[in-house]
Amino acid sequence: MHIIGIDIGATNTRFVLLKDLVVLRSRKISTPKTKKEIIEVLEKNIREIAIKPGLSKIFGIGIGVPGPLNKKRDLILNPPNLIGLKNCALPEIIEKDLNIKTKIENDANCFILAEARTGVGKGAEIVVGITLGSGLGSGIVVGDRIYQGFFGNAGEIGHMTIKFDGLKCSCGSIGCFEEYASQKYIKRRTRISAQELNKLAVKGDKSAQKIWQEFGRNLGIGLANIINILDPEVIVIGGGISGANKFFMKSARKEIQKRVLSPISKKNVKIKITKFKGFAGAIGATLLFNHYEKSSCF
C-alpha cells in the first residue's frame, strides 16, 4: 500500500512516499507564500514523487499543516506562521484535483504521532512533542492517539503565555512561549539564524553558547508548564533547532527542576531528542490513515 506524507512548514515542505511503511522516496522544497502557489507546488510534487508506481496506485495523502484546524479536519483556520493557508479547505481541493483520499492534521500532531508510534516515544503512555523551528509546534499523544481537544485544537503550547507583559507574538497575543523558544527568538536576539548560531557555538564561541543557554532557560520554562499541567512520561524535542540541543538542554533541565511542583514528575520525566532528520512530520502524516487504531505494523 503506497501512501504519500507531506509536511508543510513555514519555511520548507517535505514529501515522502511510503510503501508498506518503508520510505521509498523523499524530497524537500521551499514553501511558497500564497495559497495558489502552495497548491500548485503540492500537486506538482505529488505527481512527481508518485511517478512510480503511478498516481492511481496511491492509497492516500496525509498532510501535516500549521494549525489551528477545524474539528472535522477539512479546513485550515488562521495559521499565524503561514497566512497563505488561511481558511483553506486543502483536502477537498487535492481530492478534487487528484482523485486521491486526502487527510490533514496539525503538523506538530503528525510529528508526535510518528515519534510515539515509531520513534523515541514508542511504548510510552503519555507523550508530548515539541517542534522548534520558525515557530514552536506541539502535540499530545495519550495511549497512542492524538489528544485533539474538544474543539480539535489542543496542543497549541507555542501560544501559551509565559510572560504576560512580554514580547508581542505574530498571533496577536503577548508573551507567547513561541516568541522565546523558536527561530524568532534567536533572530531577534542575534540577527542571525539558529543554524548560524549553532555553527558559532560548535566552533567554541562563548557568546553564542551563552545565547543558547538563555534559549534553553526559556524552553525549560515552557516545558515545566507542560509537566505541571500534563505530567507526561516522555517529551520529545524535534524541529530544525533541536540539532543544537547540546547547547541548550542543560539550562532547560535546570529550569524544569526549579519550576515543576511534583518532585516525582521532575525526577522521572524523560526528555528525548528526535532521531528523525526532519521527515518525522511527513512520516507521521502517512500514519493518519491508521490514526484511530494502534498500529500493529511497527
| Nearest residue to 182 (alpha-carbon basis) of 243, 244, 136 | 136
Nearer to its own copies, 53 or 172 (CB): 172
DSSP codes, 275-288: -S-S-HHHHHHHGG
Q: What are phi and psi of 111, to 5 degrees?
A: -55, -50
Consecutive H or E run containing 40 = helix 35-49
Q: The C-alpha cell of 49 is what?
A: 514523487
Count interface residues toward its own copies (CB under 8 A): 54
Is residue 119 within the footprint of its own copies (CB under 8 A)? no
Taking contact as CB under 8 A, which single stretch among the options 55-63, 152-160, 244-252, 271-279 is the one that binds its own copies?
Answer: 152-160
Kindly identify the residues of this chain, within the stretch 166-195, that bind its own copies according to CB under 8 A: 166, 171-175
Kindly identify the residues of this chain, within the stretch 120-139, that bind its own copies according to CB under 8 A: 124-126
Nearer to its own copies, 70 or 193 (CB): 70
Nearer to its own copies, 43 or 231 (CB): 231
Is residue 148 within the footprint of its own copies (CB under 8 A)? yes
Select from 22, 150, 292, 296 the one that contacts its own copies (CB under 8 A).
Answer: 150
Is residue 262 within the footprint of its own copies (CB under 8 A)? yes
Pairing relationship of beta strands 136-142 and 126-132 according to DSSP bridges: antiparallel
Is residue 162 within the footprint of its own copies (CB under 8 A)? yes
Angstrom distance (rounded) from CA 78 to CA 11: 17
CA angle 233, 220, 117 (to 5 degrees): 30
How many CA atoms lie within 13 Å of 184's alpha carbon, on the beta-carbon side?
21
Q: The C-alpha cell of 265 is what?
A: 514528575
Nearer to its own copies, 153 or 193 (CB): 153
Is residue 160 within the footprint of its own copies (CB under 8 A)? yes
Q: The C-alpha cell of 134 is what?
A: 520558525
Q: How many CB atoms lie within 10 A of CB 285?
A: 34
CB of 85 to its own copies, least distance (A): 14
Kindly identify the residues of this chain, within the stretch 65-104, that bind its own copies according to CB under 8 A: 67-68, 70-71, 77-78, 80
Q: By CB under 8 A, name the binding residues for its own copies.
A: 67-68, 70-71, 77-78, 80, 124-126, 148-157, 159-166, 171-175, 218, 221, 224-226, 228-233, 258-265, 268-269
